[in-house]
Amino acid sequence: MNFLPAVTRIIDAHVDGAPTRLIVSGGPELRGSTMESRLADFQARHDHWRRALTGAPRSAPGTLGALLTDPERPGSLAGVLFFDADGIVSRSPSGTVAVVASLAHLGKLRPGPLQLDTPTGAIGAQFELDGTVRLDDEATTGRAHIMFDGTMVTEADDPYCWGGAAPATPATPAADGLSGT
């Protein structure tokens, strides 16, 4: 059975209203030394994480998920995989801004240049003292606002945490509120 660990630390941030949910700790252990192999492992063995963290009822419509990994390249701060309720997202400028702001919130970086590894390559950025994030390869400059920093606790048999409907019986209404009969 698929299940999340008892406690997963997440940070929810938004950039201009676009929500990003970052898995800080307690996430799946990915196999592989490259971001491409980690992405393949995430898709093959851990898609339930994507559904649980970006699907209803645990997140708002349009929530982008981001999973921190160890960096692939020397000099990179971290690796990151982006996903949403529909699948994998190759790159997200607003999501990158939210990840950088979340790493600053955690005390993992200081103002200055940084690099994040993704399956499509490295993303260079500049983190400013005022909280502004500037992406090197895009005309994106923004600030993220931290909305939540805490833990999400799930139970292995909670169908809602996996983005699926609860089984319906005549005595138990279906998860969507419709009758089981």
Q: Percentage of the chain surpassing pLDDT 70?
A: 80
Q: What is the mean pLDDT of residues 101-120?
A: 95
According to the model, what pLDDT value does residue 138 have?
Answer: 72
- Is the pLDDT at 106 greater than 50? The verdict is yes
Neighbouring CB atoms inside 10 A of 176's CB total: 8
Q: What is the mean pLDDT of residues 40-66?
A: 89
Neighbouring CB atoms inside 10 A of 10's CB total: 22
Name the pTM for this structure. Answer: 0.81
- Is the pLDDT at 89 greater than 90? The verdict is yes
Q: Return the closest-CA partner of residue 27 out of 94, 79, 89.
A: 79
- Is the pLDDT at 4 greater than 80? The verdict is no
- What CA–CA distance (Å, rounded) separates 82 from 95? 8
What domains are defined for the chain? 7-156 (3.10.310.10)
pLDDT band at 31 (very low <50, low <70, confident <90, very high): very high
- Is the pLDDT at 75 greater than 90? The verdict is yes
Summarize pLDDT for 127-181 with one digit per residue, the tens.
Answer: 999 999 999 987 777 888 888 888 776 555 555 554 444 344 344 343 444 333 3
pLDDT band at 70 (very low <50, low <70, confident <90, very high): very high
Q: What is the mean pLDDT of residues 113-125?
A: 96
According to the model, what pLDDT value does residue 171 have?
Answer: 43
Q: Return the closest-CA partner of residue 144 out of 75, 106, 95.
A: 95
- What CA–CA distance (Å, rounded) separates 159 from 176? 12
